[in-house]
Amino acid sequence: MATAKPSPQPIPRIAPREDLNPLRIAQIQFDMAAEYLKLDPGLRQILRSPKRVLEVSIPTKMDNGQVKVFTGYRVQHNVVRGPSKGGLRYHPNVTLDEVKALAMWMTWKTATVNIPYGGAKGGVICDPKRMSKSELERMTRRYASEILPLIGPEQDIPAPDVYTDQQTMAWIMDTYSMTKGYSALGVVTGKPLSIGGSEGRKEATARGVLVAVEEACKVKKIPFRGASVAIQGFGNVGSLVAKLFAEKKARVVAISDSRGGVFNSRGIDPLKAMRYKERAGTVVGMPGTSRISNDDLVTLKCEILVPAALENVITLNNVEQIKAKIVAEAANGPTTPHADEVLARRGIMLIPDILANAGGVTVSYFEWVQDLQSFFWPVEEVNAKLESVMRRAFLEVFESMRKHRTQMRTGAYVLAVGRVADAALVRGLFP
Ligand code: NAD
């Protein structure tokens, strides 16, 4: 059994300037936990690297008749605790190292909330905003068929991530099902309700963020009602964080997307912002708000900061200027290890990604369980189970942090890596 002993470790110094490679960041975070856990060097090597990496070429006929070949990846980091699970990202800046990091974070995330999955992630280098729906469909179906040998309800289960959605999942489910010759509901999660999606999945990541922030507010003795919130990224996750927080009477003072941000100290109505974004394609220019940049949003005076876009948003460049009392990482990997140290020194509570945004994978797990049983639960049941998982996970991470006299991220890592290490040790090494 992996046993944890208190032994505060400084972050390994990697470079005079910050290294923003997500994989190296993920490995630094892992190394810190491995030190606390005194993990065996062989096991460390196993857990530091992905189990499987698949790179595929995706020839796609574009609307103008020409063929364009996209590059895609599917990475499975670890499966000792169950099938691998993780989203699919479409973005021009996708790299293999990013997908490997995201897959590794998924392993720790599923272990943090203690659901029986490993971690995986997919990515395609493309610019979905410049593609038509039919181009996206053809690219998605070809990608699905290229990664088909690796995925399946008992093997590896994709879900939505940046610039992918329910429709993307429906195309993957259909491609997989047509190839197999039967309908396989459990091959992806985050599907539309009509083909085995779960009630509550759409809002699940945001609801998980809400529960984690409510718990953090109790610890920090900040009244949630009336607390000012700045949210970077107004997509699947960020827009619903804004909606759920506003429903609970927090004051959403700033939101943003890739084109910039908007601010109103009296509060922004998230539903109006959603409608405006639907029409205008951005939140920028929303009536009754003033414009701010994404950089200004991160350092805005507010109680709660929610990064809900991409990686490396809180770095040594801006961490000293952060004024929030709680940072809830709805996005994956928004804070660098050096910035983590500064946040901890400054007494700012960070709810790490592998905890804060784990509501999504938790309800994905519920969706998969419902698909496998062909028995579907009402939304109240899904939400109640999600809340209970998230509250328990928050308290376990908080307890781990206290026990090891460290910060929240390392507390979560020690808990999660310990669980994966225990499973790996008890299974033993094949052959
Ligand atoms: P999304 O594509 O729906 O939204 C992304 C948002 O970020 C958009 O509003 C976009 O305009 C904005 N954005 C893009 N580049 C930006 C930039 N440079 N600066 C500011 N904003 C920018 O994606 P999503 O599903 O909401 O995912 C957001 C984050 O949450 C990602 O880190 C993702 O990995 C993480 N996450 C998502 C889920 C999920 O269920 N979708 C679950 C867990 C974690």
Judged by DSSP in three states, 407 sits in coil
Does the beta carbon of 163 sit less than 6 angstroms from any atom of ligand 1? yes
Please indicate, yes or no, if residue 309 is contained in any of the structural domains.
Answer: yes
Distance 232 CA to ligand 1 centre (A): 9
Strands 67-78 and 52-61, sheet pairing:
antiparallel
Q: Do both 174 and 236 map to the same domain?
A: no
Please indicate, yes or no, if residue 339 is contained in any of the structural domains.
Answer: yes
Please indicate, yes or no, if residue 112 is contained in any of the structural domains.
Answer: yes
Q: Do both 70 and 117 map to the same domain?
A: yes
- Cα distances (Å, whole numbers) of residue 23 to 28, 96, 159, 329: 9, 9, 21, 18
pLDDT digits 0-9 by tens, 123-173: 999 999 999 999 999 999 999 999 999 999 999 999 999 999 999 999 999
Q: Do both 250 and 279 map to the same domain?
A: yes
Pick the last residue of a domain from 160, 189, 218.
189
Pick the last residue of a domain from 306, 335, 356.
356
Residue 69: is its pLDDT beyond 90? yes
Does the beta carbon of 294 sit less than 6 angstroms from any atom of ligand 1? yes
Which atom number of ligand 1 is nearest to the Cα of residue 277? 9
Helices (H), 148-269: 166-180, 204-220, 236-247
- Identify the band that residue 11 occupies on the pLDDT scale cut at 50, 70 and 90: low
Domain tally, the chain? 2
Widest distance between CA atoms in the chain: 65
Task: Determine which one of 51, 121, 243, 325 is catalytic.
Answer: 121
**What's residue 2's pLDDT?**
45
Check: CB of residue 92 under 8 Å from CB of residue 70: no
Residue 1: is its pLDDT beyond 60? no
Find, among 6, 29, 47, 22, the residue nearest to 422 by Cα. Answer: 47
State the Cα–Cα distance between residues 385 and 423, nearest whole angstrom: 24
Average model confidence (pLDDT) across the chain = 96
State the Cα–Cα distance between residues 139 and 72, nearest whole angstrom: 10
Distance 181 CA to ligand 1 centre (A): 34
What does the block give as tokens for 246?
């506003």
Q: Do both 220 and 117 map to the same domain?
A: no
Contacts of residue 131, Cβ cutoff 8 Å, sequence gap at least 6: 139
**What's residue 16's pLDDT?**
53
Q: Do both 297 and 324 map to the same domain?
A: yes
**Sign of the alpha-carbon torsion through 189, 190, 191, 192:** positive
State the Cα–Cα distance between residues 87 and 166, nearest whole angstrom: 12
Residue 84: is its pLDDT beyond 70? yes
What does the block give as tokens for 245?
């927080």
Please indicate, yes or no, if residue 115 is contained in any of the structural domains.
Answer: yes
Q: Hey, how many other C-beta atoms are within 10 angstroms of the C-beta on 92?
A: 12
Q: Do both 337 and 271 map to the same domain?
A: yes
State the Cα–Cα distance between residues 213 and 306, nearest whole angstrom: 10
Q: Do both 232 and 331 map to the same domain?
A: yes
Q: Do both 64 and 177 map to the same domain?
A: yes
Q: Do both 153 and 221 map to the same domain?
A: no
Q: What is the DSSP string of 108-173?
A: HHHHHTT-S-EEEEEEEE--GGGS-HHHHHHHHHHHHHHHTTT-BTTTEEEEE-TT--HHHHHHHH
Provide the CATH number for the domain around residue 337: 3.40.50.720
What does the block give as tokens for 386?
């999600």
- Average pLDDT (326-331) is 98
Please indicate, yes or no, if residue 234 is contained in any of the structural domains.
Answer: yes
Distance 225 CA to ligand 1 centre (A): 25
Pick the last residue of a domain from 356, 389, 419.
356
Provide the CATH number for the domain around residue 72: 3.40.50.10860
Please indicate, yes or no, if residue 182 is contained in any of the structural domains.
Answer: yes
Is residue 121 part of the annotated active site? The answer reads yes
- Identify the band that residue 17 occupies on the pLDDT scale cut at 50, 70 and 90: confident
Please indicate, yes or no, if residue 7 is contained in any of the structural domains.
Answer: no
Find, among 385, 270, 406, 409, the residue nearest to 332 by Cα. Answer: 409
Task: Determine which residue's CA is closest to atom 40 belonging to ligand 1.
Answer: 360
Task: Determine which residue's CA is closest to atom 30 belonging to ligand 1.
Answer: 331
Please indicate, yes or no, if residue 30 is contained in any of the structural domains.
Answer: no
Q: Do both 249 and 216 map to the same domain?
A: yes
Check: CB of residue 240 under 8 Å from CB of residue 205: yes
Does the beta carbon of 371 sit less than 6 angstroms from any atom of ligand 1? no
What one-letter code names the amino acid at 342?
V
User: What is the domain range of residue 319?
Assistant: 204-356
Alpha carbon 181 to its chain centroid, in Å, reads 32
